Amino acid sequence: MIQRHTTASAATDAPDRGLLAGIDIGGTTTQVVLCDDTLKVVASGERATPARAGGEAMAEAAVDLVTRLARDSGRRVGAIGVGAAGLVDTATGRIVGASDSFVGWAGFPLGEVLSAALGVPAFVENDVNAFLLGEVRAGTATGARSALGITLGTGVGGALWLDGRLWSGPRGAAGEIGHIPGFGDEPCTCGGRGHLETVASGRGIERHYLVTSGRRAGAREIAERAATGEREAIATMRRAAHGAARGILITVGLLDVATVVVGGGVSRAWPVLGPLIHAALEGDPPVSRTAIVVEPSALGGDAVALGAAALAQNALAPRTTRA
């Protein structure tokens, strides 16, 4: 992880380094946690993301929240980590690309703006990478040397933790499991067709259920109907689980990663989804015969913010002492 220290503040040489602020800027909600050095949450809060009001407004909302939480807790913030939706240039803290739901986000120098506003170093990472970092430091994959993170939400996100560090690839797009092809031919949000996201995302689940049953329902409700034994709902969830399992098997085959953490809103249906994923994996074991451990996120809605706090901590710590 190469991160940018946008402001060389006193945070690194003062005896009290202050709290770590972890910020999760999502499409609907911005969440902040203030943590100590053990990633214990001291304070937390959230507010609506002004996603349509532009980058400045989104950054300002985050700054206000951090400032208020720090004031209320009577503590100083020493460094900021951010998990942000979109493609991120981690070296500059700039948002490179974003979906249409974020106005004025692509190109926005988020790290620089936050660092200037709060007077401490700021480090920015893609939100799915931050999610996986959170799970590796304090959640389901704690201590794993290598892991795959998948978020099944409105879309499908992916992240790779390889040999003790996030692997983002030269263009920040490594681990984008949602956009690998070979899953039918439905159009994907990215402009491609037949990507994993079209079968395993909440949107893909809802669309397939509507087409096969003639009934309109949200992904959570479809999962509940599957749990009660409804045929079309089970078939839809099985299709999503098979897609996710195939994505996992491809990753395991390529990278020999045996630990998988599944997060995102759809993963709340784990009692239905989990056994279907496990069944699909058992039917098609990797050639290495590696036992693949697939588990739901332990940190749930806090994973991105906690991972962002861990990101700031990692970035400040000497490389020799912390991976």
Interface ranges with Zn ion (CB under 5 A): 179, 188, 190, 192, 195
Looking at beta carbons only, is 63 or 160 nearer to Zn ion? 160
Looking at beta carbons only, is 58 or 150 nearer to Zn ion? 150
Shortest gap between Cβ of 71 and Zn ion (angstroms)?
Answer: 42
Shortest gap between Cβ of 194 and Zn ion (angstroms)?
Answer: 9
Shortest gap between Cβ of 315 and Zn ion (angstroms)?
Answer: 30
Q: Residue 59: which residues within 8 A CB-CB, separation 6 or more?
A: 108, 110, 113, 114, 117
Locate all alpha helices (DSSP H) within the chain, ordered by sequence. 55-73, 110-118, 127-138, 197-200, 202-213, 219-227, 231-255, 270-282, 303-316
Looking at beta carbons only, is 114 or 180 nearer to Zn ion? 180
Shortest gap between Cβ of 174 and Zn ion (angstroms)?
Answer: 15
Shortest gap between Cβ of 1 and Zn ion (angstroms)?
Answer: 25
What residue number has its CB nearest to Zn ion? 188
Which two tokens mark 86?
């979109």
- Asked if 100 contacts 51 with a C-beta cutoff of 8 angstroms, the reply is no
Shortest gap between Cβ of 160 and Zn ion (angstroms)?
Answer: 18
Looking at beta carbons only, is 198 or 259 nearer to Zn ion? 198
- For the chain, what is the radius of gyration of the CA atoms? 20
> Facing residues of 90 across strands?
none
Locate all alpha helices (DSSP H) within 48-151, ordered by sequence. 55-73, 110-118, 127-138
Q: Residue 132: which residues within 8 A CB-CB, separation 6 or more?
A: 141, 147, 148, 149, 159, 160, 161, 166, 261, 307
**Phi and psi of 306, rounded to 5°?**
-65, -40
Shortest gap between Cβ of 180 and Zn ion (angstroms)?
Answer: 8
CB neighbour class for 32 (10 Å; exposed up to 12, middle 13-18, buried from 19)? buried
State CA 52 to chain mean position distance.
21
Q: Hunting for tokens 């962002």 — which residue is that? A: 308
**Phi and psi of 39, rounded to 5°?**
70, 20
Looking at beta carbons only, is 188 or 261 nearer to Zn ion? 188
- Asked if 187 contacts 197 with a C-beta cutoff of 8 angstroms, the reply is no
Which two tokens mark 321?
């002492």
Looking at beta carbons only, is 190 or 255 nearer to Zn ion? 190
Q: What would the DSSP string read from start to end of 188-220?
A: PTTS-BS-THHHHSHHHHHHHHHHHHS----HH
Shortest gap between Cβ of 186 and Zn ion (angstroms)?
Answer: 10
Looking at beta carbons only, is 94 or 179 nearer to Zn ion? 179
Looking at beta carbons only, is 192 or 271 nearer to Zn ion? 192
